[in-house]
Amino acid sequence: MHYRQLGTTGLNVSVLGFGGSPLSGAFHSTTDEEGIRAVRTALDLGINFIDTSPLYGRSEEILGRALKGVPPSRFILATKVGQYPGEPPDFSAARIIRSVNESCARLGVDYIDILQCHDIEFVELGQIVDVALPTLAKLRAAGRIGHIGITGLPLKVFPAVIRQADPGMVETILSFSHYQLNDTSLETLVPYCREKRVGIVNAAPTGMGLLTDRPPPSWHPAPPAVIAGCRKAVDFCTAQGVDIVKLAIQFSISHPGLATTVLGSASAGNVRKNVSYAEAPIEFELIAKVLEILKPIRNHNFTRGRPENQDPIVS
């Protein structure tokens, strides 16, 4: 496993990270025991970056069981605040503090390496700049958390918040579904983040299921043309006897400006495959052919959030 520095946090993160959302059955049914085996397999194979959220159902609880007895030096734990099951978005100071306490209890820790404002596109960004980030800064000063991040789907929200916040306040961003075989638009933010000394976490290199041999989940927001275009690439890889997930992982982790690429799984077997894909020689020729197949939908996107926070649609 290779590792990269995450911005200026001082954290050395595995280029392939573990995403906790599947642990509670977000993509298909699973059991706690399967999820625990997946987490421990990831750690044993050198993955040290783990990302989760209170919004992901019982993910934090299952992670807490999986991490019990594991030395904290073996993992870098990132979780989030602001989005919760069955609740409207809430980035108030009181809810953030309560959320941190709840997350620590579920995870079985008293310190969180990176605490992120989750899916900030759903609120007025002034709440993030004026309330949420200062609250996280107080938690950081008190030693409850190590570093501060923000996450979201629309790319425009990241510079919008970073330029309004105090220098050094935002240390990481987590972007998903924007650096993968069919969409590389996150690349446009790499120079900006480097200038602002912000580390980049890339998530969902398979496009939340678009680039796998399974149909994407029913809730997937991609338009039909993108789903169909990705299916052509999947079918091509299947005909070549290659798992497109291998190419998706290799493509994403090869970008030096992305510290880690987070891919979730509740299957120990899939974790082993994903790590083997990350460590195998890169299939440059096949990747080039897949990129050519995906060219008609290159950077065709989907967006969400408050109207002023949404990215322009490319189709």
Q: pLDDT tens-digit profile of 168-177?
A: 999 999 999 9
Angle at 108 between CA 272 and CA 91, to 5 degrees: 100
- Of the candidates 304, 313, 315, the one whose C-alpha atom is nearest the C-alpha of residue 121 is 304
Q: pLDDT tens-digit profile of 94-138?
A: 999 999 999 999 999 999 999 999 999 999 999 999 999 999 999
Contacts of 130 (CB under 8 A, 6+ apart): none
Domain 3-309 matching CATH 3.40.50.720: the answer reads: no
Catalytic residue among 56, 111, 192, 277: 56
Residue 159: predicted pLDDT: 98
CA distances to 155, 202, 203, 302 from 185, rounded to whole Å, are 8, 11, 13, 12
Is residue 26 over pLDDT 80?
A: no
Establish whether 192 is a catalytic residue: no
Mean pLDDT of the chain: 97
List phi, psi (to 5°) of 42: -60, -45
pLDDT above 90: percentage of residues in the chain: 96
Please tell me the distance from the alpha carbon of residue 307 to that of residue 196, in angstroms, as a whole number. 26
Q: Alpha helices of 57-92 — where are they, by DSSP H?
A: 59-67
Q: What are the residue boundaries of the structural domains of the chain, listed by start?
A: 3-309
Residue 252: predicted pLDDT: 98
Please tell me the distance from the alpha carbon of residue 73 to that of residue 63, in angstroms, as a whole number. 16
Q: pLDDT tens-digit profile of 46-88?
A: 999 999 999 999 999 999 999 999 999 999 999 999 999 999 9
Is residue 230 over pLDDT 80?
A: yes
Q: pLDDT tens-digit profile of 176-202?
A: 999 999 999 999 999 999 999 999 999
User: What global pTM score does this model have?
Assistant: 0.96
| CA within 13 Å, CB half, 85 | 11
Contacts of 37 (CB under 8 A, 6+ apart): 268
Task: Spell out a b/e string for 239-276, using b for 16 or more CB atoms within 10 Å of the CB, else e.
Answer: eeeebbbbbbbbbbbebebbbbbbbbbbbbebbbbbbe
Burial class of 191 by CB neighbour count within 10 A (0 to 12, 13 to 18, 19+)? exposed
Please tell me the distance from the alpha carbon of residue 96 to that of residue 136, in angstroms, as a whole number. 8
Place 28 in a pLDDT band, splitting at 50, 70 and 90: low
